[in-house]
Amino acid sequence: MKKFYYLMRMAFMTKFAYIKAFWFNIFGTAVSILIYYFLWKYVFRTREELNGFTAAQMTTYVIISRVLSSQFSGGIDREFSEWVYKGNIVVELLRPVPLLYNLFGKRIGEFLFFLLFKGIPISILATLILGGTGPAGAGQLLLFGMSVLVSIVILFWIEVTVGLIGFFTLNVWGLTFTKSALLSILSGGVVPLFLFPDEVAQVLNYMPFAGMVSVPASIYLGKYDWNQAVQFIGLQIIWAILLGLGVLAFYRFAIKKVVVQGG
């Protein structure tokens, strides 16, 4: 646990070193919130509600979805693949903790940084300024938090997979780009899943991606009752475990093939 704490702390400090770049990152997210906000505002000009969403609820959905999906383009996959590409993986493999443990500590550190300096302040500010709704209740807020926590584990496995593919392709630029685009769409980060055709929406609701935006946002807005919320979080946990097992197997296979670049 102590080791994990120090790995997290290191990721946190590293992020701090790039605080200037982080302001641009926040600016980018703020702009994307505004764009989506005005889009939906336009839609709601002619109607009171859409599929049970009021304009204020949609504003909150936009804020939560934009903030949560802004994580998709970050993460450890790019750095992980860069380790492989530039050969620094050799140093990381020589650490006295498993590589995945090391990476997870780093990822959680970055996630906490994201929460503290971007996720929470931006969400609160945007909700106040743009007039969104608060959480449906204290219980919903708690479940929302849990759902986001589980989703970060799922996101981590996806990032590891993308990085691992770097073992074979030695370059994952295209892949990370595709990843963040796909995740944004499939998770409900671009438009709510109910706007997809019914059958597609049904499938997507039960995929692990929904857990990253759609599920937590719906819980927050009180779109799921207590039972549904717990079931969806349970499903996310199952996905996190299944994906974890799969990625672990892939990791074991890939690591045997590690080719370390450069002298």
Return the closest-CA partner of residue 174 out of 183, 162, 164: 162
Q: How many CB atoms lie within 10 A of CB 142?
A: 13
Q: Within the chain, where are the H helices?
A: 2-17, 19-43, 55-69, 77-86, 89-93, 99-114, 120-130, 138-169, 173-186, 198-205, 214-220, 226-256
Judged by CB under 8 A, the chain residues 12 through 31 that form the site for another protein are 13-14, 17-18
The residue behind tokens 């969806």 is 232
- Tell the smallest beta-carbon distance from residue 2 to ligand ADP (Å): 35
C-beta separation of 103 from 10 below 8 A: no
With contacts defined by CB under 8 A, name the span among 74-82, 152-160, 242-250, 255-263 that binds another protein: 255-263
Q: Output 89 or 154, the one with its CB closest to ligand ADP.
A: 89
Residue 262 within binding range of another protein, rule CB under 8 A: yes
- Tell the smallest beta-carbon distance from residue 13 to another protein (Å): 5
Which residue spans within the chain are E strands per DSSP? 49-50, 53-54
- Tell the smallest beta-carbon distance from residue 21 to another protein (Å): 12
Residue 32 within binding range of another protein, rule CB under 8 A: no
The residue behind tokens 């990721």 is 11
Kindly list the residues in this chain that would bind ligand ADP in the complex (CB under 6 A).
Answer: 259, 261, 263
Per-residue binder mask for another protein (CB under 8 A), 97-126, x = binder: xx----------------------------
Per CB under 8 A, residues contacting another protein are: 2-3, 5-7, 9-10, 13-14, 17-18, 87-91, 93-98, 256-260, 262-263
